[in-house]
Amino acid sequence: MAPVTEHQGSFLSRISRRNQIVSMDVNQELEELEDFQKHVAERFTELLSPSTTTASDSPESDPILSIQWLRKLLDAFMSCESEFQAVLTTNPAQISKPPLDKLVPEMLDRIVKALDICTAVVNGVDSVRQSQRLAEIAVTALKQRPLSDGSVRRAKRALTSLLTALNADKNIGSSGSGSGRRSTTTEQWSSFGRRSGGGGGGCVSKNWSAAKQIQAMTANLIAPRGTESSPIYIMSSLMVMVMWTLVVAVPCQASNGLAVYLPLPKHQVWASAAVSIHEIIGEELKRKEKRGGGGGLMEEMQRMERIGLKLMEFSERFRFDGEEKVVAEVAEMEEICRKMEDGLEGIQRRVREVFHRLVKSRSEILEMISQCNT
């Protein structure tokens, strides 16, 4: 065998070093991917803690779909989105290579749809706040002592409006058609951000449908073989799951027909908790849709409706000696109103933060694609 020349040795040394660098890069990517999956699993598992049930057993618990739980869900989503951007920035070239190059355009389209949903949810929270005001009127009237016919009549008028509002999702937007207008302009996104306080955050088309928007987001949510654990697919799945949950919880325009199948890979560690959350909420949604309702499953709204029905029954059969029979119900309704007063603005603020985070994420991905192409 001929001896290795100095030139050959130098060449082989460079090849060896290059292979080592490539190997280190691959190992780093795998490690970052594993850390990202663990982060997602941990954040969503926290939402399934023992105190998180579908019934409020104690003042400290945060049942699924309660105001505090929804705020935690949005916090978890934004935390995962930050980790996603960090992973993507490490190796931006991956988004331009098969099979991920097919997932990216679909994700960008879902982000656009998610922006419309955020707008609708902020407006939906305003409608919940109106229900809160009606409940407060009824509470104030029924706390009068001695309780008079006039006070009960005021409470009954407020309760009638309240119960009508809480069931408005049976009819709102039922004439809508199509998959909804895509609000892709920077002007609309910017106008959303300029709104402040408790007011709405923009508008969507009259024919826009929250349910059809969700259905469109889930239509092609299927990962190419071997990419169920890719950051792009994971983040797309989480975005759809979170947007679906928001529309289920908050009454939005045309939100009937939300019992959709989310094809999340439950065998993946990152997806296990998200699948469990979806199944729990899905069962509750099915029960409501059997009664003719759609979205609007916020836990406080459901309690408000149950108590409102009891108070309405009392007001219709009011007798001067019966005021003590609803003291507990009035106190519970007052407590729900207090929770809404403290929490609804926080939900709107977090939804706005999600909105701006998604706008930024979409811009960064488009920039990465541009850099890869050049």
One-letter amino acid identity for 214?
A: I
Length of the chain counted residue by residue: 374
Distance separating alpha carbons of residues 323 and 147, to the nearest angstrom? 7
pLDDT in tens, 137-186: 999 999 998 888 899 999 999 999 999 998 875 544 333 333 333 343 33
Q: Which residues of the chain fall below pLDDT 70?
A: 1-28, 50-61, 169-202, 292-295, 320-324
Cα-based distances in Å from 53 to 56, 251, 264, 287: 7, 21, 22, 17
Distance separating alpha carbons of residues 116 and 372, to the nearest angstrom? 29
The predicted pLDDT at position 23 comes to 47
The predicted pLDDT at position 176 comes to 36
The predicted pLDDT at position 188 comes to 42
* C-beta separation of 92 from 369 below 8 A: no
Distance separating alpha carbons of residues 306 and 185, to the nearest angstrom? 42
- What is the model's pTM? 0.83
The predicted pLDDT at position 167 comes to 83
Token pair 């009606």 is at which residue? 134
User: End-to-end distance of the chain based on CA atoms, in angstroms?
Assistant: 46
The predicted pLDDT at position 303 comes to 95
The predicted pLDDT at position 170 comes to 54
* C-beta separation of 214 from 282 below 8 A: no
Looking at residue 197, the DSSP 8-state letter turns out to be T
Single out the residue of 125, 122, 151 nearest to residue 139, CA to CA.
151
Distance separating alpha carbons of residues 306 and 138, to the nearest angstrom? 14
pLDDT in tens, 70-109: 999 999 999 999 999 988 888 787 787 877 788 899 999 9
The predicted pLDDT at position 146 comes to 85
